[in-house]
């Protein structure tokens, strides 16, 4: 089943691999297909807003592109919404003291804070407020606690409202036709190692399987097989090249050697990842070789993912929020 045909997609990866850019690109790609999309930043660091060249995001979704709304998770606001929707407790104004008390309790009870965040997103999916919810999730070191929160709470609570809430969340999260997990990596040792560990941990600790691997910043092959053999022999011919073309050839030769060496090392790491995770498809996002930031990078990554997913998109669609409001 194609990744974007699901209704809830978590995007995770080791810090620094481009997780937010990929999450934003997937959301943009789905919106360009004409789907109504919500993308949510879970750690509220401001990276998602920067990805769209937008002002800081809040808990209230904001239209950032046609068909695409973005928000940032917030503990106090998610607690307020939970109490209003499920406990039927109306609140006017800020609930700072209650939120501080909640933070104190949540620090002592693993899963409490995470279940509010995940519950908010699951609620949006269950109510079908959007065709797709994309989650710029926590990094690989924390995603298990985030996605696994409903399972943790269910194991702790046997009856009551909280147990009922975790039951429907788990049903949604553990349905591979509804929920997907995309793990972003780069062709480097540590990101690949963390990815393989996460693929093994997810089903055991959360009941949710990884769906797809996304290799970001992959260097393209600059030489074919015959040319690679020539590059390998440059050391032997180096002195002749310098004598024939001058010292300026040094920079070209060094660049060719270094680039090819980096590509080979990276290809080796990705080959190891595919060997460990043979059943997971891998999407490739090439190194962009650009100084661009923000929305331009997101567009380039979206284009690369569209090629990988064989998707034809319409950039000219105008969108309104489900229900007709912006």
Closest alpha carbon to 228 in 198, 201, 255, 261: 261
Q: How far is CA 247 from CA 236, 238, 252, 255, 258, in A?
A: 16, 10, 10, 14, 18
Going residue by residue through the chain (326 aa), what tens digit of pLDDT does each one get?
889 999 999 999 999 999 999 999 999 999 999 999 999 999 888 999 999 999 999 999 999 999 999 999 987 777 777 667 655 555 545 545 555 545 544 454 556 678 888 989 999 999 999 999 999 999 998 999 999 988 887 777 665 566 677 889 999 999 999 999 999 999 999 999 999 999 999 999 999 999 999 999 999 876 556 656 555 555 555 555 555 555 555 666 666 677 778 888 999 999 999 999 999 999 999 999 888 899 999 999 999 999 999 886 655 443 444 433 33
> What separation in angstroms does the CA of 1 have from each of 6, 61, 114, 181, 218?
8, 28, 28, 13, 25
> What six digits make up the tokens of 39?
């993308």
Q: Is 14 left (phi over 0), alpha (psi -120 to 50) or beta?
A: beta
May I ask the CATH class of domain 3-221+280-309?
Answer: alpha beta
Position 245 scores a pLDDT of 53
* pLDDT the model gives residue 318: 39
CB 198 within 8 A of CB 21: no
């Amino acid at each position: 089943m194609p990744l974007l045909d699901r209704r809830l997609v978590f995007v995770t990866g080791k810090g620094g691999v481009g997780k937010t850019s990929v999450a934003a690109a997937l959301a943009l790609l789905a919106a360009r297909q004409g789907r109504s999309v919500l993308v949510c930043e879970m750690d509220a660091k401001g990276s998602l807003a920067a990805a769209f060249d937008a002002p800081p995001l809040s808990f209230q979704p904001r239209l950032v592109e046609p068909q695409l709304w973005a928000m940032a998770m917030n503990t106090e606001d998610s607690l307020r919404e939970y109490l209003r929707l499920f406990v039927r407790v109306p609140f006017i104004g800020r609930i700072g003291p209650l939120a501080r008390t909640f933070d104190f309790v949540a620090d002592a009870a693993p899963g409490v804070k995470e279940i509010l965040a995940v519950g908010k997103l699951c609620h949006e999916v269950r109510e079908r407020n959007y065709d797709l919810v994309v989650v710029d999730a926590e990094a690989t070191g924390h995603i298990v606690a985030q996605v696994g929160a409903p399972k943790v709470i269910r194991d702790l609570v046997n009856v009551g409202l909280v147990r009922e809430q975790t039951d429907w969340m788990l049903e949604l999260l553990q349905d591979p036709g509804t929920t997907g997990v995309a793990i972003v990596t780069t062709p480097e040792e540590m990101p690949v190692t963390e990815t393989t560990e996460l693929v093994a941990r997810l089903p055991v600790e959360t009941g949710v399987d990884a769906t797809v691997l996304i290799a970001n910043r992959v260097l393209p092959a600059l030489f074919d097989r015959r040319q690679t053999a020539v590059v390998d022999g440059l050391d032997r011919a180096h002195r002749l090249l310098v004598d024939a073309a001058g010292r300026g050839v040094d920079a070209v030769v060094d660049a060719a050697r270094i680039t090819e060496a980096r590509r080979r090392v990276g290809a080796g790491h990705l080959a190891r990842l595919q060997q460990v995770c043979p059943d997971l498809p891998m999407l490739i996002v090439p190194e962009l070789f650009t100084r661009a930031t923000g929305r331009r990078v997101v567009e380039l990554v979206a284009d690369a993912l569209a090629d990988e997913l064989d998707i034809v998109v319409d950039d000219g669609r105008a969108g309104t929020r489900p229900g007709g409001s912006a």
